[in-house]
Amino acid sequence: MNAGARRSRRILPSALVLLLLAGCGGLLPKPAERTLYRLTPVFELRQPLPRVGAQLVVATPAASAGLDSKRIALSRSPVTIDYFADAEWVDRPPFLVKEALVEAFETSRAFSGVASEGSGLNADFVLNTRIREFAAIYDSPNGPPLIRVGVDGELVTMPGRTIASETTASREARAAANDLPAIVAAFDRAVGGVIEQLLTWTVTNPALPGRRR
């Protein structure tokens, strides 16, 4: 047998394997597509807020690796974390919370200027936050989950970067049903309550310069 025939015999099985793999490609299961959910916090200010002659930068919240994910977190025990299989947020919770905070401060018109970090705003204060809780808690065998959101906040003076004040904001909201639209709606209420607490705490903070109605 000449060298050309031996090479042909080696190439032929490889070509057959490639053809078989190509033919089976359509039989392989596709990864499941997850439904994307937006966060639209619901909040209302129960009192008129004072006007502040200062500019505020809202920093991107910190979060643990388990919560810094587009997956929607759930927990069935105090020491475990899991995720809904077929759904995720449109963005990671730190960015969703930052967007909600900036929108709330802009809507309140309490500060003379508000922006997220990196915008170049020459801020007098920075609001730093850390997300402690952001999950659906299954605290009963068959009932809908309790949404629990907790955020630590600190108001930092600029340019000295001194922590002027610290707080913790938290809110719970029971989902109306054990399905994702109802669960996301409960997240909206819980996050809205936390945003309202942080907004009121910041604007009325004694560390701020003279406030006016």
Which pLDDT score, from 0 to 100, does residue 119 have? 78
Q: What would the pLDDT profile of 17-32 be if each residue is shown by its tens digit?
A: 444 444 544 555 666 6
Residue 194 has a pLDDT of 97
Tell me the pLDDT tens digit for each residue of 72-105: 999 999 899 999 999 999 999 999 999 999 999 9
User: What phi and psi values does residue 104 have, to the nearest 5 degrees?
Assistant: -65, -45
Q: What is the sign, positive or negative, of the torsion defined by CA atoms of 18, 21, 22, 23?
A: positive
**Full pLDDT tens readout for the chain, 213 residues:** 555 544 444 444 554 444 444 454 455 566 668 899 999 998 887 777 888 889 999 999 999 999 999 999 999 998 999 999 999 999 999 999 999 999 999 999 999 999 998 877 888 999 999 999 999 999 998 899 999 999 999 999 998 899 999 999 999 999 999 999 999 999 999 999 999 999 999 999 998 875 544
CATH number (domain holding residue 115): 3.40.50.10610
Q: Residue 83's domain spans which residues? A: 3-212
Q: Taking the mean position of all CA atoms in its chain, how far away is CA 58?
A: 15
- pLDDT given for residue 79 in this prediction: 92
What per-residue confidence (pLDDT) applies to 33?
A: 82
Number of domains the chain is built from: 1
The predicted structure's pLDDT at residue 199: 96
What pLDDT score does 8 carry? 44
Provide long-range contacts, Cβ within 8 A and 24+ apart, for 157-161. 157/124, 157/125, 157/207, 158/57, 158/123, 158/124, 158/125, 158/126, 161/126
Q: How many CB atoms lie within 10 A of CB 144?
A: 17
